Amino acid sequence: MNDPGGNIILVGYRGTGKSTLGKRLADTLNMNFIDMDRILIQEAGCSISRIVEELGWPYFRELEKKLLLKLARATGQVIATGGGVVLDVENRTLLSKMGIVIWLKADPDAIVARLHQDKEGFAQRPSFSDRNLWEETTAVLKERTPLYKGVSEVEVDTSNLDVAECVDEIVRIIHKKRKVHP
């Protein structure tokens, strides 16, 4: 395991709970919460969809990489990454050095239901294809699952758990990994 005083990094596909759980987890552990997508939106002054539409995915991925490098200089953070941060091999290497990497996963039905419920977030996220949301989600998960699995130390399936249950599970895992009893 990485430095116990380090960061907790949440990776996973959109709609798996990184932002929602990350905020609650940071509050529970008295750590700073960082939502990478929100920072990128604030810094660009527009949605991720607009960034991608106007400047392309490679440009967005470069912004994401620069932000990750900046965040790697600090500790004591719960970081909700963007779902595609694992696509870059250098990002995966960096993530594994930054702290405990937790893969939040969910089945496609749960993800699609959550994405439909989150109207504001849904509008911020660009589509990856012309397919319907379920087909797109399934295809992207198939591509990214090995990457999430490869970079993470821990997997938490959020499909059938509420926020409090997920946070409790993550805290239990972290305490066990750090050999600190709650």
Instruction: Say if residues 90 and 20 touch (Cβ distance below 8 Å).
Output: no
- Of 171, 146, 158, the C-alpha closest to 14 is 158
Q: What is the C-alpha to C-alpha distance for residues 45 and 25, in angstroms, rounded to an integer?
A: 27
Q: What integer pLDDT is reported at residue 5 of this predicted model?
A: 46
The confidence score (pLDDT) of residue 127 equals 54
CA-based R_g, the chain, Å: 16
Answer for the pair 102, 173: CB distance below 8 angstroms, yes or no. Answer: yes
The token duo for 136 is 């797109």
Q: Tell me, what's the pLDDT at 181?
A: 41
One-character DSSP codes across 29-94: HT-EEEEHHHHHHHHHTS-HHHHHHHH-HHHHHHHHHHHHHHHTT--SEEEE--TTGGGSHHHHHH
pLDDT value at position 3? 44
Q: CA 27 from chain center: how many Å?
A: 17
Q: What are phi and psi of 149, to 5 degrees?
A: -60, -40
Domains annotated for the chain, with CATH where assigned, are 7-173 (3.40.50.300)
pLDDT value, residue 69: 96
Residue with tokens 């087909």: 135
- Binned average pLDDT, 10 residues per bin, the chain of 182 residues: 68 93 95 96 91 92 96 95 95 94 93 77 53 82 95 94 93 79 43
Q: What is the pLDDT of residue 125?
A: 55
Contact 83, 36 (CB under 8 A): no
* Burial degree of 108 (CB within 10 A; 0-12, 13-18, 19+): buried
